[in-house]
């Protein structure tokens, strides 16, 4: 691999064991393996789109197919050279040059600078977010959960129990009450996501500690509140968490109280019918824009519709950014920040759920 070639070239250039010579700087550790078709495909994508200016749609279409039918990275590269009519030797050199672009180690002289290094210089590490209906659905519940924290803080609601449980209830209530056309898909996706997360930990290790309920418990409580909003409409969600008839009957009872409490609590905080708050805004950066604007209705339009319903006293922002981390409400900035890394996790869960 190019990186080893470079390392040995530097070693060769350095006079052996000379005390006058400064030690070469420690070289970054690189684990990239171009023998894997997935890794080769990612590098080829950079070579072809960014290096060779080939149309993105053609490159993506080719790589999607070709990486499945070429189990060796090298064969995939050769097939790409044939398809895009690039000299084999030249493509090999280009792949070598671009080889570290997706790495997170420091830049290596003579090679394309890793994107992570470029954006570290500007302060943001952009991770382009893949468009996915499942991920958009999960993300909508996540944003509404954070909006719950925002509403609790900004309108000084009384926190009469665990705020995390309140925020989940707020999000589920908002969906069933104000976005009934999206609610089923969103709650089903969130419950799926939580159950995948729960299954990553052996059941006897599920925690009962901390502020957040464990993921399996969250999934159950969200399903119970959905059932309480409409027993027939959300029956399949109750089935996802394995609710019995008796548990459904019980959820209809206590869940109705919770929905009523939210209706009464939120009513005085809402804008008059047909009016929108001018103190609410939704922003998406280059990495998240396509994801946020995809679909009809788009994630952006639903989030805007939710946030603009409230009569905020000062500006509140939802920021989608292609960064590392999860989602959180920041009190001093009055901002809900949703990171691309988190959305990427939901994307992977959607793929897993489908399989
Ligand atoms: Zn590398
Ligand atoms: Zn929370």
On whether residue 33 sits in a domain, the answer given is yes
Between the alpha carbon of residue 343 and those of residues 82, 141, 182, 268, 321, the distances in Å are: 35, 12, 18, 33, 10
Tell how far the Cα of 54 is from the centroid of ligand 2, in angstroms. 43
Q: What is the mean pLDDT of residues 260-277?
A: 97
Report pLDDT for 15: 43
- Ligand nearest to the CA of residue 170, numbered in listed order: 2
Choose one of 99, 122, 145: the last residue of a domain: 122
Do 117 and 149 lie in one domain? The reply is no
Question: What is the per-residue pLDDT for 151?
Answer: 98
d(CA 75, CA 35): 9
- Of 98, 122, 146, the residue that ends a domain is 122
Q: Is 189 helix (H, G, I), strand (E, B) or coil?
A: helix
- DSSP helix/strand/coil, 200: coil
Ligand 1 centre distance from Cα of residue 205 (Å) = 36
| Whether pLDDT at 209 is above 50 | yes
**Residue 11 counted as domain residue:** no
> Looking at residue 59, what is its pLDDT?
95
β-pair type (335-339, 316-321): parallel
pLDDT at 256 (0 to 100):
98
Residue 123 has pLDDT above 90, yes or no: no
Residue 97 lies in a domain: yes
- How much distance in Å is there from the Cα of 139 to the middle of ligand 2? 13
Mean pLDDT of the chain: 89
Q: Could you list the residue range(s) of the whole structural domain that residue 155 is in?
A: 133-354
176 and 275 housed in the same domain: yes
Structural domain ending residue among the three candidates 56, 91, 122: 122
In a domain, 128, yes or no: no
What integer pLDDT is reported at residue 102 of this predicted model?
A: 85
29/287 Cα distance (integer angstroms): 27
pLDDT, residue 103, reads 84
Ligand nearest to the CA of 147: 2
Helix 180-199 with 340-354: angle, nearest 10 deg? 90
CA 136 / ligand 2 centre spacing (Å): 18
Q: How many domains does the chain have?
A: 2
Do 154 and 95 fall into the same domain? Answer: no
Question: For position 16, what pLDDT does the model report?
Answer: 44
Contact 73, 37 (CB under 8 A): yes
**pLDDT (0 to 100) of residue 126:** 60
| pTM for the predicted model, two decimal places | 0.68
Cα–Cα separations (whole angstroms), residue 338 to 67, 126, 196, 321: 31, 13, 20, 6
Same domain, 115 and 225: no
The string of pLDDT tens digits covering residues 156-206 is 999 999 999 999 999 999 999 999 999 999 999 999 999 999 998 899 989
In this prediction, residues 104-115 reach a mean pLDDT of 79
Same domain, 180 and 311: yes
**Does residue 23 have a pLDDT over 80?**
no
pLDDT, one tens digit per residue, over 274-333 is: 999 999 999 998 889 889 999 899 999 999 999 999 999 999 999 999 888 899 999 999
- Per-residue confidence (pLDDT) for residue 2, from 0 to 100: 40
| pLDDT for position 14 | 41
As a whole number, mean pLDDT of residues 82-95 equals: 94
**Residue 10's pLDDT band (cuts 50, 70, 90):** very low
User: How far away, in angstroms, is 165 Cα from ligand 2 center?
Assistant: 8
């Amino acid at each position: 691999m190019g990186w080893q070639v470079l390392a040995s070239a530097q070693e060769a250039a350095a006079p052996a064991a000379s005390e006058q010579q400064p030690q070469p700087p420690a070289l970054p550790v690189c684990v990239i393996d171009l023998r894997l078709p997935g890794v080769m495909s990612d590098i080829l994508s950079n070579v072809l789109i960014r290096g060779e200016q080939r149309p993105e749609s053609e490159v993506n279409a080719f790589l999607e197919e070709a990486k499945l039918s070429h189990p060796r990275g090298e064969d995939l590269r050769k097939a790409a050279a044939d398809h895009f009519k690039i000299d084999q030797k030249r493509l090999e050199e280009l792949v070598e040059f671009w080889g570290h672009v997706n790495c997170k180690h420091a830049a290596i002289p003579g090679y394309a600078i890793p994107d992570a290094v470029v954006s570290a210089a500007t302060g943001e590490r952009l991770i382009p977010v893949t468009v996915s209906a499942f991920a958009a659905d999960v993300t909508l519940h996540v944003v509404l959960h954070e909006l719950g924290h925002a509403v609790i803080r900004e309108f000084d609601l009384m926190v009469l129990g665990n705020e995390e449980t309140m925020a989940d209830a707020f999000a589920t209530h908002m969906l069933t009450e104000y976005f009934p056309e999206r609610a089923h898909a969103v709650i089903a996706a969130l419950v799926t996501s939580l159950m995948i997360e729960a299954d990553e930990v052996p059941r006897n290790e599920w925690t009962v500690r901390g502020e957040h309920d464990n993921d399996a418990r969250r999934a159950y409580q969200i399903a119970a509140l959905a059932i309480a909003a409409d027993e027939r409409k959300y029956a399949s969600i109750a089935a996802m968490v394995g609710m019995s008839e008796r548990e459904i009957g019980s959820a209809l009872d206590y869940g109705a109280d919770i929905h009523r409490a939210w209706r009464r609590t939120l009513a005085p905080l809402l804008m008059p019918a047909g009016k929108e708050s001018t103190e609410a805004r939704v922003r998406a950066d280059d990495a998240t824009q396509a994801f946020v604007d995809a679909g009809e209705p788009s994630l952006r339009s639903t989030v805007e519709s939710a946030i603009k319903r409230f009569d905020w006293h000062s500006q509140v922002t939802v920021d989608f950014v292609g960064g590392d981390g999860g989602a959180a409400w920041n009190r001093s900035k009055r901002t809900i920040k949703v990171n691309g890394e988190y959305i990427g996790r939901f994307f992977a869960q959607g793929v897993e759920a489908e399989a």
